[in-house]
Structure 1
């Protein structure tokens, strides 16, 4: 064998494969055509320059911009064996076929923080230009001369069958607690209003107000469903009586319900029992219905916590008494 030279005791497997290939071509009279190097795409001399064919569009954006746009679309920034220009072509194809990017769920907390930050910037600009005499940034509060004692008197007839009265008491109580929350934030010292904690609490308060807006609109129009109105009346009644443990129990029953998750058989017997629909309505987990209900249920829990902090009661009637601390 020609591969095994006198001065060598071994040979490479690649050399053996190449020798066998040549013997096979000679045996079958096969002529090998040498491959010509392609002149269309060559390695660039500079890392920022890319040589392309004349029939292809030039890469008119940087590699960093291509990476950013691909990551915005949750696409890989480079496939196996892909060049920078091929990644650019893939990005162009994605932008042509799907111009709209799915941003996913909206971050309401970040939006509230951004809105609050913009309001602070606008207020500071007014102070510098002399358009505002205020020396500190406050949250807007609209007074209506409502007190906790007046709400407690109105709550004496809560849940007695008068739905219009129940809607009025629930609406006024939620608005009253939101005003109290805003006043608490406004009364903080000016040096604390520059901290991240104050901005976070202000953004949470504004987000809570936005979450409760659909519920307040339904209460004004008297379009709240009967089962939710019963739960809200129970929660507000216990909150005004400063019995936060019972209010939390009613809240949990409204939010997650007490029905077991059905697996397999969901109905026993052929005929449904009398009043079965009414029994089932008390076991619905309303937080699972839609996103709007989930938001106002979350906002309701926040104002319950604020009420417990502003109007404390006995530890036996408080929920997580040691965990509720002032700002």
Structure 2
């Protein structure tokens, strides 16, 4: 700036102020970068020192453990020599003393390498011993034989059938193999219903999805999926009671034939049974009435209310009911009289 001027314009003063401000900011930025660089270097040095200390600690611990093992082995050999027993062989470095698991047999190394080659796996890994190679082979074969999970709404190890083979029989068969196939059919059918339900929800417009009713519909789907998960698990492990399997088979058969009213009746028979439900006062006199006998029919097999058996069964049947309600909208019947109200 010209020092001979007696007066300065306001623009010149502002320009000088901005120049001073920018110069000050540059100096501050340089100082900040320099501090960060010093801090990074200190952290790196501290990390290197920490790694060196840890490595030294591990090395000393390994040497101490090795020295203790050698001393113990020397003492044991001296003791065995005094009593006339042969000395123990020294264990080579990297030798594993862990025996194989039950059912695992040792395999010759050449044959083991050929087996690994047949599995398209490396025959030898760097630094791998025979025992490690054998364990790797058994681990690979166990993984190959392990059942695979499906990718549906409810993942399962059951082998699901195609849609053309999902039609369950009208009556539950007696043969064990046929029952096993029926369990696969039931799991496949509910997997298909849930998949169609999920796909229908995903096709809705965004404003419908974000509305209150849209969120409620999605919550109903999630609840039905969670409620049906125990059913699929029981079908996997063949732990579903015979009476429940028979009733669910009837419901699925009626759903597949689009007889939704009859399917709902079968659901009601399964859930609340055929027993009379007392309302109000049940004992109004000292004499036994004939109609009162029906109040105790829940103790019989045909009148048992399975929905009250336990919480898991109640939720499971509720999930079946939700799938029944969706199925009649996805696959409407030709006879409108079969639509539930």
* TM-score (norm. length: structure 2): 0.45
